[in-house]
Amino acid sequence: MSTAVHTRASTPPVLDLDARLALVDAAMSTRLDEAAVAFEVNTAHLPGADPIPHIAEAPLPAPAAAPSPYRTSVADLLHRARLRIETDGWCRDAAFDESGAVCPIRVIRLEAHGDRRLADQACVLLLDRIQADFTWAETIPSWNAQQANAGPVLLAFDRATHHAHTHGK
């Protein structure tokens, strides 16, 4: 006597996105492995054939310094000083540190390129803008030492630059 076993056709399981991505990844990895083997076989007879071609990378050009948007000398100086703090870093408790970070007064003096009168004007204007928001600030260094990060310092430079620009300084 024979018995027939009847099985119902089962529906394939529903796969979630992660499972489908894993299957596609496995299939692509297999295809890439096969392509790598085929490449090695096809180029084995070539003398000095590199199985993975080397593409020489050209060094990225250094970004060109953007011209200052400010035409007045003090505004231009404050703008350059702000940019230098962004690139070199901000120093809180000293004029500068071993990594090249600088304090606000030092960066103004550096960007003034020896023009002490211009540097003094920029420092006075920066202190004026700082004291407009922080009435307790007596000096730039005392205010600078109270800051937790460069954000307020950069904002003070922005405000001083805008003031110098709008007042023709």
Rounded to an integer, what distance in angstroms lies between the CA atom of residue 123 and that of residue 81? Answer: 11
3-state secondary structure of 16: coil
Tens of pLDDT, residues 32-65 = 888 888 877 777 666 665 555 555 556 656 556 6
Q: Where are the domains of the chain?
A: 73-166
pLDDT of the residue at 161: 93
What are φ and ψ of residue 90, in 5° steps?
-110, 135
pLDDT for 145 equals: 92
The residue that leads in pLDDT, 16 or 55, is 16
Question: How many CB atoms are located within 10 Å of the residue 102 CB?
Answer: 22
- Say if CB 74 and CB 169 are below 8 A apart: yes
Residue type, 23: L
Tell me how far apart the 2 most distant CA atoms of the chain are, in Å: 114
Q: What is the pLDDT of residues 105-127, one digit of tens each?
A: 999 999 999 999 999 999 999 99
Q: What are phi and psi of 160, to 5 degrees?
A: -65, -40
The candidate with the shortest Cα–Cα distance to 146, out of 105, 109, 92, 98, is 92
Rounded CA-CA distance 128/158 in Å is: 13
Tell me, yes or no, if the pTM score tops 0.85: no
- Measured CA to CA in angstroms, residue 131 lies from 35, 121, 126, 159 at distances of 68, 15, 9, 12
